[in-house]
Amino acid sequence: MNRGGTSRGRTAVIVGAQWGDEGKGKIVDVLTKTFSVVARYAGGHNAGHTVIIHGKKFILQLVPGGVLRPECTSVVGNGVVIDPLAFLKEVASLRAANVKVDGNLFVSNRAQVILPYHRMIEMGSENAPGRVKIGTTSPGIGPAYEDKMGRRGLRVADLLDTPLLRTHIENACREKNLIAHALFNSDPLDADKMFAEYAAAARELAPFVCDTALLLNRALAEGKSIVFEGAQGTMLDIDHGTYPFVTSSSATSGGAATGTGVPPTSIDTVIGITKAYCTRVGGGPFPTELLGAEGEDLRKRGNEFGAVTGRPRRTGWLDLPILRYAGMINGISWLVVTKLDVLDHLTEIPVCVGYKVDGKATEEVPAQACGYEKIECVYRKMAGWATPTQDIRTIQDLPKAAREYMAFIEKETGARVGMISTGPDREQTILAPEFVEELGLQAS
Ligand code: GDP
Ligand code: IMO
Ligand code: MG
């Protein structure tokens, strides 16, 4: 795909179509074979994106997947909240694994910074009596976005401005220590110690920092192609997800524009990633959840444990109303179906094809978390294929029932299935020829 040339480069947004952990990391990695730049647009180190290359596993939290190809440029956009210590730790572990991070990895000077008091407030509020427990990943993501929207946050450019950093930390610590003590009886944080630690981190971070909106728009003008790497998923989006059981950022495709400074008019394609079934981690509604032995079986077979936290993920059947909703909110034209192999043992696969409320069919996804309690899922049983798919590399070679499962998803969502993943490794991927052609990918 146009790594050089003169016309504007192509762009594609990779967005989670469920509640996160759909396999976005792996799919971004596959696309970077031909895309030149990868830009993360939302979230922080709450994300855990797993990429497996010839058996070697990488778990990326803040660093975009493009870093695993040395010829690719990776950008942490302005929509991300960045904990400098977490970022530097990730960079150090990538360096230790001989991954190139110098000259190819950039951080937006407008990204917001997570500081220790964000963690302190998050820990306190998650456990406070009377608060809705979200089951967050706990690194301070929500409170950092609160400060961003409250216009009292610290941005990366400010982190590098030493006198401003000192004043900001002194003032913020005074305020946050008072709040956290009054509300949660937390021990106060030491502003001097924090300043010393973050001023040192700022020096290490400085070589990565630039105006990434300028970098990305210039890259596009030079004909370079960009993948926007989403974190979390549609149903965790602050506006469109299962509020309040969501994350604090715009995980949906609209976030790709605001979170990077690339205009919406420069976005060509939105690719939604969905598992062949469904998972969610943390609290909140999950209409197709399987609570018994079946759910446990899916968790074991799919190895459904958080990439970073190790928390067991809740599991359930594919939810087509949610997938249609994700299609509408994100403008998904292509779907990628991951973890097909996890269903390989089944002779029958239930799929939720619709919702009923008070006995009446509805296409509406509830605005309130309590609205989900009234939902009755309507299931259709699809035929299983009961045969291994991990080594299959073309759609024609998939068992008939698996092809029918894909065709059914296409019919029910109106999106085309462009890629099917049948195992965690980069190579365990099936590409549809039309997808290869439209995105300019070469089949491997
Ligand atoms: P992300 O957050 O969307 O990038 O997804 P995660 O990396 O958190 O979770 C996806 C998990 O499924 C990871 O452990 C991947 O290695 C794994 N995975 C991805 N695609 C497949 C697949 O097709 N089959 C199987 N069995 N595992 C997969
Ligand atoms: P990736 O990018 C799955 C969930 C948390 C919690 C809620 C809010 O790997 O798909 P937060 O710490 O963001 O305030 O937590 O969102 N959550 C995720 N679940 N995958 C993720 O990221 C997630 N990031 C946050 O479990 O329920
Ligand atoms: Mg994940």
Alpha helix positions (H), 206-349: 212-221, 254-258, 293-301, 320-330
Ligand 2 pocket member 48 (CB < 6 A): yes
CA-307 nearest atom, ligand 2: 9
Find the 424 Cα to ligand 1 centroid distance in Å.
6
Give CA–CA dist 408/157, Å, rounded: 49
For residues 277 and 342, the answer to whether their CB atoms sit within 8 Å is: yes
Side-chain half-sphere of 30: how many Cα atoms within 13 Å? Answer: 32
Identify the weakest region by mean pLDDT among 129-138, 169-178, 208-217: 129-138
Residue 246: pLDDT band (50, 70, 90) is: very high
pLDDT of residue 247: 97
Q: What is the mean pLDDT of residues 137-143?
A: 93
Q: What is the mean pLDDT of residues 278-307?
A: 96
- pLDDT tens, residue by residue, 279-293: 999 999 999 999 999
pLDDT of residue 443: 44
Given a cut of 90, whether residue 130 has pLDDT beyond it is: no
Ligand 2 pocket member 267 (CB < 6 A): no
Give CA–CA dist 245/383, Å, rounded: 33
In what order do the strands lie in the sheet containing 334-338? 209-210, 105-108, 73-76, 37-40, 226-229, 11-16, 269-275, 334-338, 416-421, 429-431
Geometric angle at alpha carbon 288, from 282 and 382, rounded to 5° = 140
pLDDT of residue 1: 45
The ligand whose atoms approach the alpha carbon of 46 most closely is: 2
Ligand 2 pocket member 241 (CB < 6 A): no
Write down the mean pLDDT value for the chain.
96
Query: How many other CB atoms are found less than 10 A from the CB of residue 211?
Result: 16
Residue 131: pLDDT band (50, 70, 90) is: confident
The DSSP letter of residue 61 is S
Token representation of residue 269? 């394609």
Given a cut of 70, whether residue 422 has pLDDT beyond it is: yes
**Residue 49 annotated among the catalytic residues of the structure:** yes
Give CA–CA dist 354/47, Å, rounded: 30
Give CA–CA dist 352/2, Å, rounded: 40
Q: What is the mean pLDDT of residues 200-205?
A: 98
Residue 210: its H or E element: strand 209-210
Name 227's bridge partners: 12, 38
For residues 86 and 139, the answer to whether their CB atoms sit within 8 Å is: yes
Ligand 2 pocket member 252 (CB < 6 A): no
pLDDT of residue 253: 98
To the nearest whole percent, how much of the chain has pLDDT over 70? 98
pLDDT of residue 396: 97
Tell me which residue of 10, 11, 27 sits closest to 274, measured CA to CA.
27
The torsion angles phi and psi of 361, rounded to 5 degrees, stand at -65, 140
Q: What is the mean pLDDT of residues 181-208?
A: 97
pLDDT of residue 5: 46
Q: What is the mean pLDDT of residues 314-322?
A: 98
Ligand 2 pocket member 247 (CB < 6 A): yes
**Residue 181 annotated among the catalytic residues of the structure:** no
Task: Using most ligand atoms within 8 A of CB, pick from 26, 300, 304 the residue to mutate for ligand 1.
Answer: 26
Question: Could you give the C-alpha distances from 431 to 371, 418, 428, 439, 443, in angstroms and in order?
Answer: 38, 6, 10, 11, 7
Give CA–CA dist 64/14, Å, rounded: 12
Q: What is the mean pLDDT of residues 342-347?
A: 98
CA-249 nearest atom, ligand 2: 13
Identify the weakest region by mean pLDDT among 161-165, 183-187, 194-198, 412-416: 183-187
Q: What is the mean pLDDT of residues 37-45?
A: 98
Catalytic residue (one of 29, 45, 49, 341): 49
Task: Give nearest CA residue, ligand 2 atom 16.
Answer: 247
For residues 24 and 230, the answer to whether their CB atoms sit within 8 Å is: yes
For residues 402 and 409, the answer to whether their CB atoms sit within 8 Å is: no
Q: Of residues 240 and 125, which shows the higher confidence score?
A: 240
Query: How many other CB atoms are found less than 10 A from the CB of residue 325?
Result: 19
Q: Give the binding-site residues of ligand 1, using a 6 Å CB cut-off.
A: 16, 20-26, 47-50, 52, 307, 338-339, 341-342, 421-424
Catalytic residue (one of 21, 147, 237, 344): 21
CA-306 nearest atom, ligand 1: 8
pLDDT of residue 129: 86
Residue 280: its H or E element: strand 278-280
Ligand 2 pocket member 141 (CB < 6 A): yes
Given a cut of 70, whether residue 2 has pLDDT beyond it is: no
Give CA–CA dist 188/440, Å, rounded: 54
Give CA–CA dist 61/87, Å, rounded: 8
Residue 6: pLDDT band (50, 70, 90) is: low
Token representation of residue 405? 């499962």
Residue 128: pLDDT band (50, 70, 90) is: confident
**Phi and psi based region of residue 143 (left: phi greater than 0; alpha: psi -120 to 50; beta: remaining):** alpha
The ligand whose atoms approach the alpha carbon of 275 most closely is: 1
